Structure 1
């Protein structure tokens, strides 16, 4: 019996999965930073995880190195980075003394994030996803929405977090994640005449993020929430 020939793959094809694993490391490290009360680094690591999450799949498609393992790994990373990590960071930040309501809210958020990702995976395999919109708030956006109270407190010195409203807030964000509301997707098409204003807005946002990170992150959350009714209206008009 002859041995199987060894299968070799280009080293660069490992890059997308390496980025996904790097995102997991960033998410878990965000929890560690929160445990040390270094919430600025926690948020920075979660943003890094979100950036890596947005890039790994695109790079895999460019390199033509998509795989079933990569898809499963990406979904597991999302549960850690955008489900568990934000919930634990918020719990350490504002709800550590509220061991009942705060922890229940954190669990509700994590469960909703997991259910949302499972629904997305099923839709992707069955080919039933509407590529113009997401159904419910996607996991990375949900994580940024959940962190809105932290962004606001950092932007407004002296603002003391109240555990009860924050617990209610992250439970509501979890509800938005598993909802059937259409939410904006980067695959949405816009008129060509809007391309330059959109690029200018992105450049201004990047400059604001560098100069006023906390206020910009909170403002981005507000704009995202305001975009949901617009996506709902757009979907209804396009379906007629």
Structure 2
């Protein structure tokens, strides 16, 4: 029998190595998220937050890579969802617990569990929604996406570095629960990746993106603080617009 044949008598299909790149990026994001826990345990909260932000950035890349390389698959989608739950459902909760909530052992841990469950439910709803046509999702999401939720949940840490004021543990726990509620809510939330602009404005959008990245590198806490406030303002604006239309 030909050595190139498999046990079923068929040739083993060939796969371009570069088509595995999206899955590699997802795994790299998972490694960043898990490493954030390690640094949080060691007391290096700043690096832990950076690694969560890195995982969020990589999460925005893997799906686009899969579409560009035409390597989308059911396994890749499941891998991405599992990595998202760990990176944005488990890791932020543990980081906040190690940073502020250990003093409120019972209440703090309950907040971590609620946040993680809300993230899991948000991802489950998103996965189901992806299998159906949802025209209303073109310019906005239903509920806060898990990467945005993770970065929003870390807002008390940004607040401490920018205003030099630390939220009480009870307030941090309530904030986490509130962000979890936003993730599973039916509120419309901004989706920048679905916004279209005129071709003539593309150069300005690129300059703005470069400026945002430069600000994030140079003034990380201030930039994350302002981006969080801008995101919350966007949610409020969408909610008011929907109320106005429904009136």
Same fold? TM cut 0.5:
yes
Larger mean Cα displacement after TM superposition, 53-62 or 186-195: 186-195
SS in 1 for 2:141: strand
Decide which of 122, 128, 132 is 1:116's aligned counterpart: 122
Residue 31, structure 1, aligned to residue 26, structure 2: no
Larger radius of gyration: 2
| Uncovered stretches (5+) of structure 1, i.e. residues with no partner | none
| Contact map agreement 1:133 1:231 (CA 8 A) in 2 | no
Decide which of 135, 139, 145 is 2:152's aligned counterpart: 145
Q: How many residues align?
A: 238
CA RMSD between the two structures: 2.1
Decide which of 209, 213, 216 is 1:206's aligned counterpart: 213
Deviation at 1:189, TM superposition (A): 2.6
| Contact map agreement 2:23 2:62 (CA 8 A) in 1 | yes
Distance 1:94 1:215 in 2: 20
| Contact map agreement 2:156 2:166 (CA 8 A) in 1 | no
Deviation at 1:198, TM superposition (A): 4.0
Distance 2:242 2:60 in 1: 24
Deviation at 1:228, TM superposition (A): 1.0
2:64 aligned partner? 58
Distance 1:101 1:19, change over 3 A: same
| Uncovered stretches (5+) of structure 2, i.e. residues with no partner | 1-6
**Residues 141-195 of structure 1: CA distance to partner in whole angstroms, max 9, x if unpaired?**
00010000011112234x3341000000010000000010111112123455655
Distance 1:189 1:54, change over 3 A: same
Distance 2:26 2:235 in 1: 28
Q: TM-score, normalised by structure 2?
A: 0.89
2:3 aligned partner? none
2:138 aligned partner? 131
Distance 1:184 1:73 in 2: 25
Q: TM-score, normalised by structure 1?
A: 0.92
| Contact map agreement 2:162 2:222 (CA 8 A) in 1 | yes
Deviation at 1:210, TM superposition (A): 2.1
Residue 167, structure 1, aligned to residue 173, structure 2: yes
Q: Map 1:94-113 onto structure 2 (within 5 A).
A: 94-113=100-119
1:9 aligned partner? 15
Distance 1:2 1:41, change over 3 A: closer
Decide which of 20, 24, 48 is 2:26's aligned counterpart: 20
SS in 1 for 2:104: coil
| Contact map agreement 1:23 1:49 (CA 8 A) in 2 | yes
Distance 1:165 1:229, change over 3 A: same
